Chains A and B, each alone.
Chain A
Amino acid sequence: MKRKVGTLIEDEVMRLAKRRAAEEGRPMSDVIQDALIRYLHAGAAHPKEREAAYNLFCNHPFKLTPKQFRQVLEEDAWDV
C-alpha cells in the first residue's frame, strides 16, 4: 500500500532525482523509494545470514524441562 507523504527535499536533489527518473522512464516516486529502501537496508545482513540466524534462534532450542521453563518465565529479572 502506498501513502502520500509531504516532505522537504533540496532543489538540487530533486533535480537529480527527476533526471534519473526521466532517464529510466520511471515515476520519480519509484526512484525516491528505491533510494530510501537501499539506505534503510544498508548494513543489514544478507538474506542467507538472516535465515541462518532465524534457524539458530528458533530451531535449536535450549533443552529445558517444563519446570525449568516455568521458572524462567516466572523469574523477575531485577530480583537478585
Chain B
Amino acid sequence: MSLDDIPNGSLCVLDTNVLLYAEQGSSAQAQRLLRRIEKRELLGVLPQPVWQELTHKLMLIEAQVLGQITGGNPSRQLAGKPDVVKRLTAYREKVQALLTMGLGFEACTRSDLTEDAFQIQEHHGFLTNDSIILAIALRLGADALASADGRFRAIKEIKVYAPTDLKLPAAP
C-alpha cells in the first residue's frame, strides 16, 4: 500500500527514510504525507530512534553540501571535525520544522527495549533500532507505519505503507 492509502484520522509512525525522501523531493507521496500531518488530517509520530537517525543524517547532509566532508564514511569524517559540527545549523532548523509541523516525539521506554523490542528481535530478527521503532508503534496502537524498508512488510500486527513513487539516484 502506498503512503497515499493511509486513511485520514490515522495515528501514523514514520521511519527516517520517508522523511529523507520528503526532504529531498524524491517522493511526492512522502511530501503529501507530511502535508496531511501539517494540516492535521492525520497524526504523525516519530519514535526516538527516528529523531536521532534523522538528525544525524541531516547533519551529515549539511556537512556534505558545505564541502566539509567528501567521499566514504561521512560519520567517521565528521566525528573528527567537532569545529565543523559546531558551525552546522541548517539541519537543526529542519528538525525543528518537523516539530513545528506537529510531528510527535515518542521516547523509548525501558520496556520498549527490554521486553517488546527484544521479543520482536527474537521473532523477526530485526536489528535493534528497527525493533524499537516497531515496539513503540505497537505500544502506541498506531494504525500505520510509513517506511520504505521492505523488512517491515513481514509484520502482521500493523499496516505498513511505503512510498511507491521513489525517484532515487541511479547507482554508479
Residues of A within 8 A of B (CB): 1, 44-45, 49-54, 56-58, 61-73, 75-80
Contact = CB atoms under 8 A, between A and B. Distances in A.
A66 B25 CA distance: 12
Contact of B35 (A54, A65, A67, A78): A54
A62 B23 contact: yes
A57 B22 contact: yes
B65 A63 contact: yes
Contacts, number: 97
B25 A70 contact: no
Interface in B143-172: 168-172
B75 to A, nearest CB: 5
B62 A58 contact: no
Contacts of A49: 100
Contacts of B56: 77
B101 A50 contact: yes
Given A45-B102, A49-B100, A51-B38, A77 B65 contact: no
B24 A64 contact: yes
Given A45-B100, A57-B94, A58-B22, A68 B61 contact: yes
